[in-house]
Amino acid sequence: MLAFDSETTRLLDIAYQGADITRRRQASFDALRPNPGETIVDIGCGNGLLTAELARAVGPEGRVIGIDPSRDMRSVGEKRCQDYPNVEFVEGLANSLPLVDAIADKAVSVQVFEYVDGIEGAISEAMRCLKPGGRLVVSDLHFGSFIWFSEDPERMAKIKASWDRHFVAGDVPERLPGILKEQGHHVENVAPVTLVDHVLKPDGLAIMMMQLMRQYATANKHVDPDIANAWFDEQIELSRNGRFFFSITQFVVSARKSA
Ligand SMILES: C[S@@+](CC[C@H](N)C(=O)[O-])C[C@H]1O[C@@H](n2cnc3c(N)ncnc32)[C@H](O)[C@@H]1O
């Protein structure tokens, strides 16, 4: 699985403030509908961009608890939120949250469930921490929704196959509504957010993924470095020639805990 170490944290911190990832974070924020005074848990809060936005939205009467297993990610988040006394960062995992029952009005988890072993348990845990009727928003990319042009589809397939090993599951969105209903909760909405580009933007999702995918494929010896570099360079060249095309869909799933 991908290590959320200092180098991954550095790459994510740049791209996560770019237009693409800001748009998917905004969609998750909107689905959560934070109100002043609420207590909100940000599961897998990472570098704390959403955590900070939630802190401002709930205000001084509210509380935001960011939970993440990576010390590198948490420390960037802590710095970002240092002026918000209503935020705390806690070490923890989605399927064993370090929280008492029914502590929160709402919980959110963006781009995390793909790294969780057993999303059924992670949903039960999130719901356990919510008050009856509380809202849970889980938002993930569906890695089966890639459309990504290359003149060497075989090489592209090798890189994608390597990336498929960076997570526990790439198909979280299609399983979430069913699991939520099986556990007796009400699915409010499933909203797609498609990120599509015909230019390789310096602050976009595609360039961040290209850097992470090349690094992951070579570090884990899934793909020869020459092949990974040739794949990377081809994408830069396609963009220079006006033939770049990249698209992937994020799904924002909102649910309410049974009363
Ligand atoms: C792609 S980042 C997303 C961060 C943040 N939610 C955002 O959207 O900006 C994934 C985060 O999930 C965390 N993570 C990985 N496995 C986890 C688990 N089992 N439980 C909770 N968080 C986890 C990582 O440490 C990392 O910070």
62 lines ligand 1 (CB under 6 A): no
Atom of ligand 1 nearest to the CA of 68: 22
Task: Return d(Cα 66, Cα 97) in angstroms, integer.
Answer: 11
Q: What is the overall mean pLDDT for the chain? A: 95
Residues 167-223: pLDDT tens digits? 999 899 999 999 999 999 999 999 999 999 999 999 999 999 999 999 999 999 999
Q: What is the spatial distance between Cα 214 and Cα 123, in angstroms, rounded to a whole number?
A: 32
- For 47, the token pair is 């570098």
pLDDT tens digits, one per residue of 4-35: 788 777 777 777 888 889 999 999 999 999 99
Q: Is the CB of residue 140 below 6 angstroms from any atom belonging to ligand 1?
A: no
Closest CA to 36 of 56, 52, 59: 59
pTM for the complete prediction?
0.95
Whole-number Å distance between alpha carbons of 17 and 230 = 28
The confidence band for 249, taking pLDDT boundaries of 50, 70 and 90, is: very high
Our answer on whether the CB atom of 173 is closer than 6 Å to any ligand 1 atom is no
Instruction: Report the distance separating Cα 204 and Cα 22, nearest Å.
Output: 10
238 Cα: distance to centroid of ligand 1 (angstroms): 31
Pocket-testing residue among 45, 68, 248, 250, ligand 1, by greatest number of atoms within 8 A of Cβ? 68
pLDDT in tens, 31-83: 999 999 999 999 999 999 999 999 999 999 999 999 999 999 999 999 999 99
Task: Give pLDDT tens digits for 113-155.
Answer: 999 999 999 999 999 999 999 999 999 999 999 999 999 999 9
Nearest CA to ligand 1 atom 18: 93
- What are the C-alpha distances in Å from 256 to residues 42, 75, 85, 108, 182? 16, 31, 28, 12, 13
Strands 39-43, 186-197: parallel, antiparallel or unpaired by DSSP? unpaired
The tokens for 220 are 């884990």
Please work out whether the CB of residue 116 comes within 6 Å of at least one atom of ligand 1. yes
The pLDDT assigned to 17 comes to 86
Taking the centre of ligand 1 as the mean of its atom positions, its distance from the CA of residue 44, in whole angstroms, is 4
pLDDT at 6: 80
d(CA 74, CA 89): 7
The reported pLDDT for the residue numbered 259 is 77
Domains parsed from the chain with CATH numbers? 6-256 (3.40.50.150)
